[in-house]
């Protein structure tokens, strides 16, 4: 590590300690102007035996514990590099060099799983319904959906999935390691729009290295790092794919494409259906799309194809909303359109059967006359 980089890091370590609480917000906003600081901190994290690693990890934890959003995001940008340092050291079976990184990651995890009152958080996720439009799909493009009593009864109902409460962790073990790391990646993905290009590149490199180390693909990628296979989980790969998708649409086309291929390669080897489903869906959605490799600055987004609907849908078209809002009254009861159509169809069917039976004797008499 160069003396200049070391001086930048040491200055950063000392200035925050003497900072009054009233100046934390101003200090957090000024960190983006320190152009030499972030590269220097990356060098410290990558050097496992650096004397500055422990105080740097301690300060990053103080940033996160402060509760200031900009300081928390400053810490989160180093999360992919911290995860790789931890996993590579664990694979090399040299845990003594990663003690401060473990403490930092566990500290962030334990802060995130509780609310301000110290109570365990329960995260909720609403599963989108295919009958309602979103930025990813249009119900009209899926095809006609059968209008049945069951579909009408379930229309408008949303499914909510809950995550938590999560247990406090004091140390990393083989059983809880990826549970903690997956949750940390979830926190990182929640702040993706604030992450720098360097952080997104680090995420893509983490994804590739974790998935190919120890496998024949490592030689194809010409990666000369550790060659020990790393255990992964399907949930961990899904969180990696989420971040890779964002990186692909925001300037990291080459690294993101390689990372996505590597994650799918590992998911195929491990037979992880969730990771294969999400990864292949993203790969299919990006097939043929004009991804901009120079979109590293400005507005952050995820690219999707949205088909215009105004030219295909009539103004008088019957939609699910109009069906739900339109009520038909019959014999003093309120009946939905679906039930009314079902009853009408049944009546028409009975009339047809009755008409056929009534005309059957006439046909028999006509046949007898022909024979005679």
Q: Is residue 342 very low, low, confident or very high in pLDDT (cuts 50, 70, 90)?
A: low
Q: Which of the pair, 200 or 355, is modelled with greater confidence?
A: 200
Q: Which of the pair, 283 or 346, is modelled with greater confidence?
A: 283
Q: Is residue 314 very low, low, confident or very high in pLDDT (cuts 50, 70, 90)?
A: very low
Q: Is residue 199 very low, low, confident or very high in pLDDT (cuts 50, 70, 90)?
A: very high
pLDDT value for 330: 44
Encode pLDDT of 134-183 as tens digits: 766 677 666 655 555 555 555 556 678 888 788 899 888 888 999 999 99
Q: Is residue 1 very low, low, confident or very high in pLDDT (cuts 50, 70, 90)?
A: low
Encode pLDDT of 235-275 as tens digits: 999 999 999 999 999 989 999 999 999 999 999 999 999 99
pLDDT value for 136: 64
Mean pLDDT for all residues in the chain: 78
Check pLDDT > 90 for residue 123.
Answer: no
Contact 270, 282 (CB under 8 A): no
What is the token pair recorded at 193?
């729009």
Alpha-carbon distance 214 to 227, whole Å?
4
What is the DSSP track for 196-263? Answer: -HHHHHHHHHHHHHHHHTTSTHHHHHT--S--------HHHHHHHHHHHHHHHTTT-HHHHHHHHHHH
Instruction: Please state the domain extents for the chain.
Output: 327-359
Check pLDDT > 90 for residue 39.
Answer: yes
Q: How far is CA 33 from the centre of its chain?
A: 30
Q: Which of the pair, 47 or 348, is modelled with greater confidence?
A: 47
Check pLDDT > 50 for residue 77.
Answer: yes
The residues that bridge with 159 in the sheet, in sequence order, are 127
Encode pLDDT of 351-371 as tens digits: 665 666 666 555 555 444 444
Phi and psi at 221, nearest 5°, equal -80, -10
Check pLDDT > 80 for residue 338.
Answer: no
């Amino acid at each position: 590590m160069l003396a200049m980089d070391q001086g930048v890091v040491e200055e950063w370590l000392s200035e925050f300690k003497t900072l009054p609480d009233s100046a934390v917000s101003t200090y957090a906003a000024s960190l983006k102007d320190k152009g030499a600081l972030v590269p220097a901190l990356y060098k410290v994290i990558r050097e496992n035996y650096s004397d500055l690693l422990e105080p740097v990890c301690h300060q990053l934890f103080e940033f996160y514990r402060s509760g200031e959003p900009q300081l928390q995001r400053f810490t989160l940008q180093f999360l992919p590099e911290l995860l790789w340092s931890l996993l590579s050291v664990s694979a090399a079976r040299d845990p003594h060099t990663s003690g401060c990184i473990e403490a930092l990651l566990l500290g962030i995890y334990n802060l995130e799983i509780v609310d301000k009152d110290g109570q365990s958080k329960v995260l909720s996720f609403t599963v989108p319904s295919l009958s309602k439009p979103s930025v990813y799909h249009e119900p009209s493009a899926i095809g006609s959906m059968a209008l049945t009593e069951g579909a009408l009864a379930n229309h408008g109902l949303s499914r909510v999935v809950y995550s938590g409460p999560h247990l406090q962790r004091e140390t990393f073990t083989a059983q809880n390691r990826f549970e903690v790391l997956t949750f940390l990646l979830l926190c990182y993905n929640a702040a993706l729009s604030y992450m720098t290009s360097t952080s997104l590149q680090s995420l893509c490199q983490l994804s590739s290295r974790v998935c190919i180390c120890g496998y024949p693909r490592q030689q194809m990628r010409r990666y000369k790092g550790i060659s020990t296979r790393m255990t992964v989980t399907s949930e961990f790969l899904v969180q990696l794919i989420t971040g890779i998708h964002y990186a692909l649409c925001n300037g990291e086309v080459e690294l993101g494409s390689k990372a996505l291929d590597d994650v799918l390669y590992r998911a195929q080897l491990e037979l992880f259906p969730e990771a294969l489903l999400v990864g292949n869906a993203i790969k299919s959605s990006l097939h043929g799309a004009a991804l901009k490799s120079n979109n590293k600055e400005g507005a952050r987004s995820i690219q999707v194809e949205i088909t215009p609907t105004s030219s295909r849908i009539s103004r008088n078209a019957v939609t699910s909303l109009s069906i739900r809002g339109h009520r038909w009254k019959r014999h003093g009861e309120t009946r939905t359109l679906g039930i009314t159509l079902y009853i009408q169809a049944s009546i028409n069917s009975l009339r047809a059967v009755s008409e056929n039976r009534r005309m059957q004797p006439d046909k028999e008499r006509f046949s007898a006359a022909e024979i005679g």
